Amino acid sequence: RSLLTRPDRYHKVKPVAANISLIVIVIAPLPEPAPTLIDRYLVACADAEIPALLVLNKCDLLLGNDDPRLKLLDEYKALGYECMLTQADSDFAELKQRLDNETVAFVGQSGVGKSTMINAIVPDAAQKTNIISENSALGQHTTTSTRLIRFGENGALIDSPGIREFGLWHLDHAKIDHGFPEISAFIGHCQYRNCTHTHEKQCAIKQAVDKHEVLARRLDSYLRLVDEITEAQQKN
Ligand code: GDP
Ligand code: ZN
């Protein structure tokens, strides 16, 4: 149904995992969510044609109904992404139910609660993998192979160092556009064909931001990713 690939060190594309049906992007009030990282994950999900579920964990740490992290989640909901609130002391019951019958991979910053979540959903995962000792700060991983662990009636978890680096691989322009559907809707409508969507007056995307049809934050993210690939291409 789907294939996740990544470049190896010789710049050849290597398959990492097949048939992932859902990618769970985990964020939390702490560590503070990095919206650009979420956008980057969403680009990679769109590229692999895998649906994403955005989970805000550690809801017990939220500061009431006006918490900015809830607002952030609502923004993604409004863009059409599936979202869920979780916290460890609810035993992740709703998430568990949602994930049965899915082949899932978890992504997200270190410390957001992925291992806690996985241990609740797949109680013997700890024995089967070294996923808890993930050491992303140093870019080192204790597991080097990809594993598939079954849970529930018909669920499976794919754990792989390749997936933990997911979203950090090389992107190209078309892929980025694909991951920002609300922005790509306006591409081609700017005055200049080579519009950079930064300073041009007759820029359809900037006008959409002014009309609150596109979030300024999403346009920033988009431009940051485009800059990154432009830089990478100049180096090659
Ligand atoms: P990972 O790095 O994403 O795998 O995160 P961990 O699962 O190791 O969790 C990091 C810390 O957050 C641990 O101390 C957990 O006990 C804690 N944690 C996980 N879920 C929750 C939650 O819902 N609420 C709170 N307050 N802490 C949590
Ligand atoms: Zn433009």
Question: Is a pLDDT exceeding 60 seen at residue 136?
Answer: no
**What's the distance, CA 3 to chain centroid?**
16
Predicted TM-score of the model (pTM): 0.89
Q: Are 49 and 39 in contact (CB under 8 A)?
A: no
Partners of 155 in the β-ladder: 151
111 C-alpha to center of ligand 1: Å?
Answer: 6
Beta strand ranges found along the chain (DSSP E): 3-7, 13-18, 22-27, 52-56, 82-85, 103-107, 147-151, 155-159
Stretch 138-166: mean pLDDT = 73
Residue 150, beta-bridge partner list: 156
Residue 167 pLDDT class (50, 70, 90 cuts): low
Ligand 1, atom nearest to 116 Cα: 7
pLDDT grade for 170, boundaries at 50, 70 and 90: low
CB atoms within 10 A of CB 188: 9
Rounded to the nearest angstrom, the distance between the alpha carbon of 217 and the centre of ligand 2 is 15
Distance linking the first and last C-alpha atoms of the chain: 33
What tokens appear for 68 in the block? Answer: 């900015």
The average pLDDT across 196-216 equals: 97
